[in-house]
Amino acid sequence: MGKAKKTRKFGLVKRMLNPKDTRIKANQEKEAQKKKKEEEKQIKHVEQVASSLFFKYNSALGPPYHVLVDTNFINFSIQNKLELVKSMMDCLYAKCIPCITDCVIAELEKLGPKYRIALRVARDPRFERLPCTHKGTYADDCIVHRVMQHKVYIVATCDRDLKRRIRKIPGIPIMFISNHKYIIERLPDAPIPV
């Protein structure tokens, strides 16, 4: 029996890892990286909230409403036979100024001759043209960036991804098309659709 005990102790000692073993170092490095990522996720700097926001109510919004129009919103309006300015006024019961960025015009130009009617609608002189200073012509990023800077716009879009991105920004209403009419979402004093 005495011999069996000695072999057990020998086996236990052999199974222990050396503290300088590379496998232990690799695990420690992974844990350190995880801790760093968790610390980065914690909020250290809180962004300045616009003074026009009262909780999620945006007091900067008021008639005449400035509506930032997306590419697909123009296309769906044409498909649903909706006149943009008139339908916006019917939805909001106030004067509306559709605003179109250079990126939206560029996207419509890129889409080619199939969307020439949408391009003609976008170039309407009643629409306010907003110049873009950034590189590229991706309208979604442009709209999100512009809305984050100035919280005086209503965003008109039918794009799910863009809607999802804008919902994360407090105080920005979204206009979309449903049942052949415009519907507004997240505008506090908007009429409830029936």
132-171: pLDDT as tens digits? 988 888 899 999 999 998 889 999 999 999 999 999 888 8
pLDDT digits (tens, 9 = 90+) for 75-127: 999 999 999 999 999 999 999 999 999 999 999 999 999 999 999 999 999 99
H-state helical runs in the chain: 2-15, 22-41, 71-79, 84-92, 102-110, 116-122, 139-149, 160-167
Written as six digits, the tokens of 159 are 């794009």
| Range 160-194 burial, b when 16+ CB lie within 10 A, else e | eebeebbeeeebbbbbbbeeeebebbbbeebeeee
* Domain 53-185 fold: Rossmann fold (3.40.50)
Question: What residue segments make up the domains of the chain, in order of their start?
Answer: 2-41, 53-185
Top pLDDT among 40 and 28 is at 28
Q: What pLDDT does 116 receive?
A: 93
Written as six digits, the tokens of 112 are 């080619």
